[in-house]
């Protein structure tokens, strides 16, 4: 099998801005989750179920990053949380500078939890530190269990991976053990949760992990 | 609803290289399809079914572009067509220069049809002309009918959109009429085909359209 390696581009290093964002958020006790996934993996519906579980105890804000449209921010506003739509001007992911701009505009340090729903994409968002407290990826059953092989960086940069749409399992060939092994080969410390944003299955463990992280962040 | 427009980056203009590739391919009577979709939409399985329908009549080559792994090129080699794996060095899409390099290495002008399976992504691949004869996007039922709203450019640059996994329709809320309307709002000339790469449903029309395009290309 012949493999061609074509040129590698240079990504702007924005780690300094990301570190400054993280410092600010820690100071204001704002826990920021950078939620990443393919288009259609269920970021918005997972977020809605997550908000439902947390909104009694936390003040929650959501930044919806998209190339275009405002559908997701409208959904979040209806869910009763603060929300803002960020248009990336064609960019395939939020970077630290864009995130910092959005945080300022949104006055996001007023929130206990700030969710950022990144652009639907398994490649670009993984490449850029946004300044989030935690990175979380969603992979859905219909996408297939081979995705960690094809998009390794995404699974390396996340502290948790949510395997979503487990309610559709019987419809697709998806090997649970294989996906966990592939994720742990790339990132032994990653937490993997099997969930259904439709039925709510598996959310208890995910929410428990998340609130544990928030407690450490604010300690 | 407040919408923030963050900075827009400059994309390298590679249209000249793309035009040169297109000229070369036309001269060698090689019809190149740039196949784009989200991760897990079914690019590889759609390609396999398409190849099955065409391989008796055409000499087919496949270029598999991925960030990493060689799984897809191995699958294509087993399907009895020429195949090569292209690693993009972390890039989220093939550009015209990368495509030209790959075509040269692969000696792709020997083929009647050259499929390029682009990196799984609804954003970056839409931004760059690769020099392909036609752009084709796949959107799968589990991803949702709102994707043309969120990733408009992809649906603007394609001559055909394949709505895949229609065998899973009863499992998901997906509005066929709405998706067609959203695609045609962006791109009135786009052909939309509803297919299942699993069952083969809908392939006849898609193959007919494709061979019609090949005939025009070679005329």
Contact list in A for residue B144 (CB cut-off 8 A) is 39-40
pLDDT > 70 in chain A, percent: 94
Residue of chain B nearest A88, judged by CA positions: B6
Looking at residues B149-178, what average pLDDT do you find? 95
Inform me whether the pLDDT recorded for B8 exceeds 70: no
Report the complex ipTM: 0.73
* Residues B31, A106 contacting (CB under 8 angstroms): no
Give me the pLDDT at residue A89, please: 81
Give me the pLDDT at residue B70, please: 82
Question: What part of B 33-72 touches A (C-beta under 8 Å)?
Answer: 38-40, 66-71
* Residues B163, B193 contacting (CB under 8 angstroms): yes
Looking at residues B63-88, what average pLDDT do you find? 88
Inform me whether the pLDDT recorded for A188 exceeds 70: yes
- The pTM assigned to this predicted structure is 0.83
Tell whether A150 lies on the interface with B, counting CB pairs under 8 A: yes
Model confidence over A92-143: pLDDT tens digits? 899 898 999 999 999 999 999 999 999 998 988 998 999 999 999 999 999 9
A170 class by beta-carbon count within 10 Å (0-12 exposed, 13-18 middle, 19+ buried): exposed
Taking residue A109's Cβ as centre, other Cβ atoms within 10 Å add up to 16
Contact list in A for residue B91 (CB cut-off 8 A) is 6-9
Please, which residues have CB within 8 angstroms of residue B59's CB and are 6 or more apart in sequence? Answer: B82, B110, B111, B112, B113
Looking at residues A38-46, what average pLDDT do you find? 94
Model confidence over B94-103: pLDDT tens digits? 999 899 999 9
Top-confidence residue, B173 or B8: B173
Give me the pLDDT at residue A2, please: 53
Of A11, A40, A150, nearest to B144 by CB-CB distance is: A40
Q: How confident is the model at residue B7 (pLDDT cuts 50, 70, 90)?
A: very low
DSSP string, chain A: --EEE-PPPPPP--HHHHHHHHHHHHHTT-EEEEEEE-TTSSHHHHHHHHHHHHTTTS-EEEEEEESS--HHHHHHHHTTSEEEEEE-TT-SS--HHHHHHHHHHHTGGG-SEEEEE--S-SSHHHH-----SEEEEEEEGGG-TTHHHHSHHHHHS-SEEEEE-GGGGGGS---HHHHHHHHHHH-TT-EEEE--TTT-TTHHHHHHHHHHHHHHHH-
* Residues B203, B50 contacting (CB under 8 angstroms): yes
Residue of chain A nearest B92, judged by CA positions: A123
Taking residue B208's Cβ as centre, other Cβ atoms within 10 Å add up to 12
Top-confidence residue, B36 or A74: B36
Inform me whether the pLDDT recorded for B125 exceeds 80: yes
Closest CA to B166 of B46, B11, B60: B46
């Amino acid at each position: 099998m012949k493999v061609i390696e074509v040129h590698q581009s240079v990504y702007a290093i924005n780690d300094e801005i990301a570190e400054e964002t993280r410092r600010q958020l820690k100071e204001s006790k704002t826990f920021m989750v950078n939620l990443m996934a393919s288009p259609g993996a269920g970021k918005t519906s997972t977020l809605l179920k997550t908000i439902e579980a947390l909104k009694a105890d936390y003040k929650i804000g959501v930044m919806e990053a998209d190339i275009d449209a405002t559908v997701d921010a409208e959904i979040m506003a209806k869910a009763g949380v603060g929300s803002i739509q960020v248009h990336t001007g064609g960019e395939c992911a939020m970077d630290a500078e864009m995130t910092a701009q959005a945080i300022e505009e949104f006055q996001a340090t007023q929130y206990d939890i700030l969710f950022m729903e990144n652009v639907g994409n398994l490649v670009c968002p993984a490449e850029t530190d946004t300044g989030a407290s935690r990175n979380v990826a969603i992979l859905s059953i219909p996408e297939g269990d081979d995705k960690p092989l094809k998009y390794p960086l995404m699974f390396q940069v996340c502290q948790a991976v949510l395997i979503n749409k487990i309610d559709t399992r019987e419809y697709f060939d998806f090997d649970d053990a294989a996906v966990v092994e592939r994720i742990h080969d790339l990132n032994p410390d990653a937490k993997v949760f099997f969930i259904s944003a439709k039925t709510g299955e598996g959310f208890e463990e995910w929410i428990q992990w998340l609130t544990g992280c928030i407690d450490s962040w604010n300690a």
